[in-house]
Amino acid sequence: MAPGNLTGKGAGPHGWPARRTTLFCLPHAGGSARHFTMWGDWLPDGFQVEPVDPPGRGRRHREPPLDRWSLLVAELGRTIRDRIDGPYLLAGHSFGALLAYELALVLERTSTPPALLLVAGRNGPTAGLSHRPIHDLPDDQLLRALGRLGGTPEAVLDEPGLIRLWLPVLRTDLRLAETYSRRPVEPLSCPIAAFLGRRDRMADPAGVLAWHRETTARFDLTVVDAGHFLMDHPDFVAAVTARLSALRPSG
């Protein structure tokens, strides 16, 4: 699919109010949500970014990481519910995409549902992994595997001190992501927009397309000429900008 070429399966059930809309953003395995603050430089008018750091990273780096999905989703669900003040979206990259999905399930049941779930760099909940599990590999083998898969920012691999601090949190997240099993739940009522890098070795087209099973509303898939860390690519920025702008009524 060409960059920015969006396809859908009907309109979603959510209207688009004129109030400012918050994007709650979840990071990749072992990552901080701080990177999402740069989205504020290009998001359309009327949208604001709210990075969400799980325990163990970013602003919450002194807290121990949570190693069970139920604990992590409950903790972040409370955090986001306390911050909801009007319409909002959930966005996640890689491991963060699964986390955003699980949060959407909880928030749809217990609070106001999101207006859109935006997922990038991760196969759908019912799809298998695009690579062999690596979370139990020894440290050196784990780092080499991540290097081959393009699953780690080079800035981290070049800093031995960062690696020592980062590996325990990374392993926790990778274990959650690689052993994830979708529960028997109903599809979401909110639309889903999925994004894939053409050269991503940690996700694949068929696997990302599986996200369409998780919604009764509109589904979009956009493929950009990038690897796993696709969110700085101009085509990704253009496609997300177009997708968010399309949510608002014209005139």
Number of Cβ within 10 Å of residue 20's Cβ equals: 13
Among the listed residues 228, 199, 222, the one whose alpha carbon sits nearest the alpha carbon of residue 209: 222
Residues contacting residue 100 through CB under 8 Å, at least 6 positions apart: 24, 26, 90, 91, 92, 117, 118, 119
Paired residues of 23 in beta bridges = 49, 89
How many residues belong to the chain?
251
Catalytic residue among 228, 233, 245, 250: 228
Residue from 61, 94, 130, 250 carrying the catalytic annotation: 94
Q: Which tokens hold the place of 118? A: 């935006």
How far is Cα 245 from Cα 251, in angstroms, rounded to an integer? 12
Find tokens 């999925």 and name the residue. 194
Is 94 assigned a catalytic role?
A: yes
Cα separation, 86 vs 17, whole angstroms: 9
CA separation, residue 93 to residues 97, 98, 109 (Å): 5, 8, 23
The Cα 197–Cα 136 span in angstroms is 26
Active site residue 70: no
User: Which residues form the catalytic set?
Assistant: 94, 228
